Structure 1
Amino acid sequence: MKTILVTGGTDGIGKGIAMHFLKKGDRVIVVGSSSAKGGVFYQEARQLGAEDRAIYIQANLSLVKENQRVIEEIKDRFHYLDIVVFCAAKHNKEYTETKEGFETTFALAYLSRFLLSYGLKDSLEKSASPVILNVCAPGMKGEVNWKDIQNRNNFEPQKVMFHGSRLNDLSGVSFAENDTAGKIKYILYNPWAVQTSSMLETFKNPLMKLIYKIIGKPVEKAIVPVIELLDNPPAASLSAFRERKAVSLAMETFNKENARKLYNMTLELRKKNRL
């Protein structure tokens, strides 16, 4: 029996992955912000006869302190982790800040994943074959806005979403670079178009919403390549995929110098905010 942590595991792709592993007989820890959705998770686990293997942790992962609390709770309650899957994301229509002073999308879609990756590293290394899978959008072009890393100016939901993926590309690179033990396999994964409510909310144009509904895959289909990767992870310490197709790490979006720059900038942001 494996122990799997899924952030954003009460909705969309995250929920699909969580329920798959529960059905398989594994222990699944889901982190989400809604107690109501957590209740639904427990109800569905009971229907599977898996209530003893289902754990829900309520947390607002856009807050650094909440990430720290989750890390400590995981370490206290569980001896090890085999798999960590990052799915938690929220696509805001306008600029908003957390009470800690970070732009909300940046805090949840990037900073939380950064914190949990390093904070749970020891727990993962106790596993025989540890894996981190970061659901974002590798394989897409784009640049990091170094002058406005948190999109405080000219906030546009779709651009902010893709910008977060560029940050996660670089975060995966720096994690692999900093992981001298080399035991954890870090996978950046692009599911392409998936029919989830959160994705549809990012499109203002009704025509774009309709197109996305047409081309988008249902969650049960979208998670199949994810499960394949988690069951048989690549040998490399870092890999990236767009569905089943490997993404070349030679793309500029995986530039190692930029990855180090972002890593140091992130540490400075935490220091500046005293978190």
Structure 2
Amino acid sequence: MKTYVITGGTDGIGGAIARTYLDRGQEVVVVGRDTAKGEAWLETARRRDAASRAHFLRADLSLLSETGALLDTLRASFTKVDSLVLCARHFRTTRLVTAEGFENTFAHFYLSRFVLSHGLTGLLDSADAPVIVNVAGPGGAGKIHWNDLQLTRDYDGHTALTQGGRLNDLLGVSYADRRPGTKVRYVLFHPGTVSTGFSGEYTPDTQARIADIRRTAQPVEEAVLPIIRVLDSPPDSALSAFVRDTPLLPQGPAFSVEQARRLRLRTEGILADHATAMKSD
């Protein structure tokens, strides 16, 4: 039996992937911050006579403390993780600083994925053919604001998300770069425009545009098919990228090894400073 850990797995793309592997007889751990949605997931498993293989772990991934607690729980509860699927994302029209002092989108969309990717490596290494699928839109045109990663000046929700996509591209590059010879396959995945819940807080104008997008977007059940194919048969390369069914060569400025190393060092510094601050409190 394989073990799948899926963030943002209570609905949307993550939820469809979770149901797929539960129905296939696998063990599925869904991570989300909404307890009611988590209970609905567990009830779905009970109706399918799969309660023993379904798990819900509540965590607000915008908080490093809760991401760290999630890691501790996973390490204590499982001997291996075959697949880590990173789907959790949340749009914010206005800038929000978390209780830990981080800009919300930076913490939720990037920092949590960095911590989970690296933090679960031990459990992934224990699997036969481990894979991380980071659903973040590789190859996007977003700009990295190196001097202001948390957008303290001129915050814009779209800018925060597109920068997050670029940061996740570099996360994939640095993961493979840091672990030459690893059997973990890191996959950056762009599902295209999907009719999901579009988790977030929007202005009325933006909500109207989202309603228009939903009318022509691909249904979730269709969007997850290429992701499932990747999970079932991970690529041979340590790092790969896809836009739906189409492979995207992870090269060029968006996948710069030098920038990936720069970002990794910056991120490790941010995490170290946070850990020191927590100890002194």
Q: Deviations over 1:188-227 (max 9, x none)?
A: 0001101112268657446632441233111111101100
| Matched-pair contact (CA < 8 Å) for 1:158–1:202 | no
8 A Cα contact 1:169 1:254, kept in partner: yes
C-alpha offsets along residues 224-257 of structure 1, whole Å, 9 cap, x if unaligned? 1100111011100000000011112123111111
Find the residue that maps to 1:73 and give its secondary structure. helix
Is it true that 1:263 corresponds to 2:261 in the alignment?
no
Using the alignment, how far apart are the partners of 1:36 and 1:121 within structure 2?
30
Instruction: Please say if 1:173 is aligned against 2:192.
Output: no
Match of 1:273 in 2: 274
Q: Which consecutive unaligned segments of at least 5 residues does structure 2 have?
A: 277-281
> What is the match of residue 218 of structure 1?
219
Calculate the aligned-residue CA RMSD, in Å: 1.5
Partner residue of 2:279? none
The aligned residue for residue 249 of structure 2 is: 248
Structure 2 CA distance for aligned equivalents of residues 229 and 222 of structure 1: 13
Distance 1:210 1:38 in 2: 26
Q: Mean alpha-carbon deviation: is it higher for 228-237 or for 177-186?
A: 177-186
1:209 maps to 210
Supply the distance in 2 between the matched residues of 1:221 and 1:144 (Cα, whole angstroms): 31
Q: Deviations over 1:55-97 (max 9, x none)?
A: 1111111111111111111111111010000011111111001
C-alpha contact 2:241 2:248 (8 A) present in aligned 1: yes
Q: Structure 1: which 5+ residue stretches go unaligned? A: none
Moved more, 158-167 or 137-146: 137-146
8 and 160 in structure 1: CA distance in 2 versus 1, 3 angstrom threshold: same
1:236 and 2:232 are equivalent in the alignment: no
Corresponding residue for residue 49 of structure 2? 49
2:80 corresponding residue in structure 1? 80
Residue correspondences, number:
275
- Residues 142 and 159, structure 2, Cα contact 8 Å, conserved in 1: no
- 8 Å Cα contact 1:200-1:212 kept in structure 2: no
TM-score, normalized by length of structure 1? 0.96
User: What one-letter code is carried by the residue in structure 1 that aligns with 2:95?
Assistant: Y
**In structure 2, C-alpha distance between the alignment counterparts of 1:68 and 1:169, rounded to whole Å:** 22
Provide TM-score, normalisation by structure 2.
Answer: 0.94
